[in-house]
Amino acid sequence: MQKIIKEFIEQKLDKQIVLEKPKDRNLGHFATPVAFSLAKELRKNPMLIAEDLATKFKNDNIFENVQAVKGFINFKLSEQFLAQKIDEALSLGDNFAKCNDKKQKILLEYVSANPTGPLHIGHARGAVFGDALLRVGKYLGYDISSEYYINDAGAQMGLLGLSVYLAGRESILKVDVEYPEQYYRGEYLFDIAKLCEEKFGKEIFEDASRQNELALFAKDEVILLIKNDMFNLGIEFDNYVSEKSLYSNWDETKAVLENSGSIYKKDGKDWIKSTELGDDTDRVVVRENGVPTYLAGDIIYHKYKYDRKFDKYINIWGADHHGYITRVKAAIKFLGNDPEQLEILLSQMVSLLKGGEPYKMSKRSGNVILMSDITEEIGADALRFIFLTKKSDTHLEFDIDVLKNQDSSNPIFYINYAHARINQLFKKAEKKADDVKNATINGINQDAKDLVYEALLLPSILEEAFIKRDMQKVTDYLHSLSATTHKFYNEHRIVGVSEESAYLKALSMVALSIRTGLKVLGITAKEVM
């Protein structure tokens, strides 16, 4: 709707404009400050310009009123236009706000946690954000593929093998184990050790040279754990890429870098000239022993991404990877690709409280808060929603006890309650949505019109949320729409009045927007509370 209004105003004025939503709804549904941008060009007071421009909209069916206020042009939508938009939206049903006109092909990589243990709560934030971005983008018609990069090469794999080896010696061989400072912790290791015993026999824990076998087996088991944790949160990937498998392409990738003159030797190592493109120091890509570094793996992977010819590449990384951005983009440039096609979004850490106190880690988790523990405690819907209530690059703190509350302090309960309340009103009126679809909304009060207007904003909210990579816009919108709905319910009698069918039609529009908004976030709206 907002896009239609903007295009209509621009056509009338023959100018590009900025379209805003006034905080005070009494001023109108939309406003533009275009008169201020024209003041210098026309050498005229913006208030006079606004008054002149407002006259161009007389007798338009879209607007009930257009007026100049302190240099702004304010637009109030007509009842006729709102009625038309409701009918169009309700006829679309489950396809409301859906688009099929986007041409961009996008590769979205997220989570990509090391396969050394179950996902922790920090991983969960990037997982939920990435999945919501994927769902919204697909709903808007973008051709998006999701990908998980399995970091199954490097020292962490050796450390995983050692950790399982020690866990097996302790729990299966019943010998005293001296754990080094660096090793993985958590009861999952004992579970994996038991599976190793079943496959290899307990003698594998008597031979320290077989730790590589343990690492390979444990990696596969951890990947299954990770996939299960994500599945329970409603997350699945289109594709998984193994870092280890890509290293066979290193010589080819290195040759491209050498041909571009971006690699040099120093102190027996190969370095990439990342300072030429903004990095604070050049980076080693091959160690003295001839083994490629972690950065080399990233370079190979991004070459593999670009070789698949997407229009856009989006990576969601933990905030601790901020320093990698410049060096990876430099490598992309040296490989002959456009680094501007790569967009890197950062996901900040999460602080958990329980009853106002820091959340205590379980014994089985080792030294982290497991994602699976929180999913089990508060449910996938609540976890998904709360992780999207702030921009991913800002710190998030929440109390899980609040998300168990059956009141307005719990945002997902509050929104679901608005949806369930609407269903209850239909039951009380002994009507269904189809019974009121042909009702006219002519004559409904201003509060009902404002409710309809807000419910019709969902398409523009989804567009803005995806373009700005900010899912908070969707959660904020759903909370605001629910608040308006609860207020309307409390202040107006709905069932048994002459406007009953009109009110119920307006509320069916609200229910559709709530249901659709939650759906694209991976949450199913509740019919009954």
Reference 8, options 70, 68, 61; nearest CA is: 61
- Strand 30-32 versus strand 342-347 pairing type: unpaired
Q: What angle do CA 454, 456, 457 make, to 5 degrees?
A: 70
Q: What is the CATH number of domain 2-77?
A: 3.30.1360.70
Distance CA 278, CA 280 (A): 6
Q: Would you say 465 and 136 are in contact if contact means Cβ atoms under 8 Å apart? A: yes
Distance CA 517, CA 136 (A): 9
Q: Give the distance, in angstroms, between the CA of residue 482 and the centroid of all CA atoms in the same chain.
A: 21
Global pTM reads 0.91
Evaluate whether 82-101+406-519 and 115-237+348-404 have a shared fold.
no
Q: Would you say 143 and 102 are in contact if contact means Cβ atoms under 8 Å apart? A: yes
Reference 354, options 373, 338, 326, 330; nearest CA is: 373
- Listing DSSP states for 100-122 in one string gives -----EEEEE-----TTS--BHH
Reference 203, options 244, 231, 177, 168; nearest CA is: 168
Amino acid identity of residue 10, one-letter, is E
Which DSSP category does 362 fall into? P
- Domain 115-237+348-404 architecture: 3-Layer(aba) Sandwich (3.40)
CATH T-level assignment (fold) for domain 82-101+406-519: Isoleucyl-tRNA Synthetase; Domain 1 (1.10.730)
66's enclosing H/E stretch is strand 63-69
Residue 361 confidence (pLDDT): 65
Distance CA 87, CA 215 (A): 59
52: helix, coil or strand?
A: helix
Residue 253 confidence (pLDDT): 96
- Residue 99 bridge partners (DSSP): none
- Strand 30-32 versus strand 72-77 pairing type: antiparallel
Which DSSP category does 292 fall into? B
Q: What are phi and psi of 58, to 5 degrees?
A: -65, 140
445: helix, coil or strand?
A: coil
- Residue 108 bridge partners (DSSP): 146, 314
Q: Would you say 438 and 526 are in contact if contact means Cβ atoms under 8 Å apart? A: no
Reference 377, options 369, 368, 389; nearest CA is: 369
Distance CA 24, CA 2 (A): 17
- Listing DSSP states for 477-490 in one string gives HHHHHHHHHHHHHH
Q: What are phi and psi of 188, to 5 degrees?
A: -60, -30
Q: Give the distance, in angstroms, between the CA of residue 97 and the centroid of all CA atoms in the same chain.
A: 18
The ranges assigned to domains in the chain are: 2-77, 82-101+406-519, 115-237+348-404, 241-333
Can you read off the two tokens belonging to residue 107? 């590769």
**CA atoms 349, 355, 358, 361: torsion sign:** negative
Can you read off the two tokens belonging to residue 392? 């991913």
Longest dimension (CA), the chain: 90
434: helix, coil or strand?
A: helix
Can you read off the two tokens belonging to residue 255? 């040759």
First to last CA, the chain: 31
Residue with tokens 């319910």: 489
Distance CA 232, CA 230 (A): 5
**CA atoms 90, 95, 96, 101: torsion sign:** negative
Q: What angle do CA 377, 381, 383 make, to 5 degrees?
A: 55
Amino acid identity of residue 290, one-letter, is G
Can you read off the two tokens belonging to residue 224? 């299954």
DSSP E strands in 208-282: the ranges are 239-242, 263-266, 269-272
Residue 26 confidence (pLDDT): 82
Distance CA 408, CA 170 (A): 49
pLDDT tens string, the chain, 529 residues long: the values are 888 899 999 888 888 999 998 888 888 899 999 999 899 888 899 999 999 999 888 777 899 889 999 999 999 998 999 999 999 999 999 999 999 888 899 999 999 999 999 999 989 999 999 999 999 999 999 999 999 999 998 889 999 999 999 999 999 999 998 888 888 888 899 999 999 999 999 999 999 999 999 999 999 999 999 999 999 999 999 999 999 999 999 999 999 999 999 999 999 999 999 999 999 999 999 999 999 999 999 999 999 999 999 999 999 999 988 989 999 999 999 999 999 999 999 999 899 999 999 887 655 556 678 899 899 999 999 999 999 999 999 999 999 999 999 899 999 999 999 999 999 999 999 999 999 999 999 889 999 999 999 999 999 999 999 999 999 999 999 999 999 999 999 999 999 999 999 999 999 999 999 999 999 999 999 999 8
